[in-house]
Structure 1
Amino acid sequence: MRVTDLTLGVLTLLGGIAIYISAWGFKAIPGQAYGAGTMPRAIALVTVLTGLFIIVKAVMAGERVPGLQLADWTRSGGALLRVFAVLALILAYILLSPVLGFLPTAFAVMVLAMLVLRVRLIIALPVSLVAALAIQQAFGKLLLVPLPRSPLLTFLW
């Protein structure tokens, strides 16, 4: 798929505006000169400026209409089926991780996604295991992001 620069600029601009709007509801931190919305608003401002820059550059290069060209693989039914299967697996993770916990759900989703994308099982299993453990450690221990706990693996950290 090829996205024109004008399309990319418009999407970037709209994304920056959406980030800025979503940061409005963030509460101020007591005793701080800045609140929880400071960084999202700064990122939004940079994103909006980047989008405007891309739009101006595309218009100066002669682009007038945003466009999108689909790649040849999108005409293949099997490829589209794999795309939808991966999207279904992401939805399954969202629905199942609060019930089963992060580790088993992430492991299963990664293995199934790799199998759908034609990765051999001998590769998919260890890569999924290492990735799930690494993500759990990075987010759960280092960044202190509360990941869903597994009722099956209560003995782990």
Structure 2
Amino acid sequence: MKLNDFTLGVLLLAGAIAIFLSATQFSAIPGQAYGAATMPKTIALLTFGLGLYMTGRSVAAGARRPAVVIADWARSPASVIGLVVSLALIVFYILFSDLIGFVPTAVFVMAALMLTLRVKPITAILVSIVAAVIVQQAFGRLLLVPLPRNAFLGFLW
């Protein structure tokens, strides 16, 4: 799917406004000149500027192109199935990761997605296991991000 510059610019403007308004709700850090809202607001302002540039350039050029053009690959049933499976797996992770734990849920999600994309089963399972453990170690141990744990596998980390 391709969006013309005007449509994409309008979407960037709307996203920038939403990010900026959301960032205004972040609390300030006492005694600091900047706080949690500094980076989101900066990104929002840069995104807003890009959106203005894209819509302005599109209006000045006066080119009349369709707002949305669907690419040929997006019309295939396999692509639609891949999209639906991807979205379903994201919902599955959101709903069940706290109950099952990060590692088993991530292994299932990655393996299911790779199998949907026709990766060999052995490769999909091995890569899923290795990737889930690496991500868990990187985020859980190095970056200290609290990932959902499984009571059975909690002893590993």
Is the TM-score greater than 0.5?
yes
Q: Does 1:89 align with 2:89?
A: yes
Give, in whole Å, the separation in 2 of the partners of 1:7 and 1:142.
41
Aligned to 2:138: 138
Aligned to 2:10: 10
* Preserved contact between residue 9 and residue 55 of structure 1 (Cα < 8 Å): yes
Greater displacement, 52-61 / 31-40 = 52-61
**What secondary structure sits across from 1:25 in the alignment?**
coil
How far is the alpha carbon of 1:130 from its aligned partner? Answer: 2.3
Give, in whole Å, the separation in 2 of the partners of 1:71 and 1:152.
46
Give, in whole Å, the separation in 2 of the partners of 1:8 and 1:131.
34
Q: Does 1:99 align with 2:99?
A: yes
Count how many residue pairs are aligned between Structure 1 and Structure 2: 157
Give, in whole Å, the separation in 1 of the partners of 2:127 and 2:62.
46
**What secondary structure sits across from 2:24 in the alignment?**
helix
Structure 1: 5+ residue stretches without partners = none
Aligned to 2:80: 80
Greater displacement, 116-125 / 69-78 = 69-78
How far is the alpha carbon of 1:110 from its aligned partner? Answer: 0.3
* Preserved contact between residue 140 and residue 146 of structure 1 (Cα < 8 Å): yes
Aligned to 1:147: 147
Overall identity of the aligned pairs, in %: 55
* Preserved contact between residue 13 and residue 52 of structure 1 (Cα < 8 Å): yes
**What secondary structure sits across from 1:86 in the alignment?**
helix
Aligned to 1:40: 40
Q: Which amino acid aligns with 2:70?
A: L
Q: Which amino acid aligns with 1:97?
A: S
How far is the alpha carbon of 1:132 from its aligned partner? Answer: 1.3
Alignment root-mean-square deviation, CA: 1.7
Give, in whole Å, the separation in 2 of the partners of 1:66 and 1:147.
43
Give, in whole Å, the separation in 2 of the partners of 1:59 and 1:93.
42
TM-score by length of 1: 0.90
How far is the alpha carbon of 1:46 from its aligned partner? Answer: 0.9
TM-score by length of 2: 0.90
* Preserved contact between residue 6 and residue 58 of structure 1 (Cα < 8 Å): yes
How far is the alpha carbon of 1:12 from its aligned partner? Answer: 1.4
**What secondary structure sits across from 1:155 in the alignment?**
helix
Give, in whole Å, the separation in 1 of the partners of 2:14 and 2:47.
9
Give, in whole Å, the separation in 2 of the partners of 1:62 and 1:127.
49
Aligned to 2:68: 68
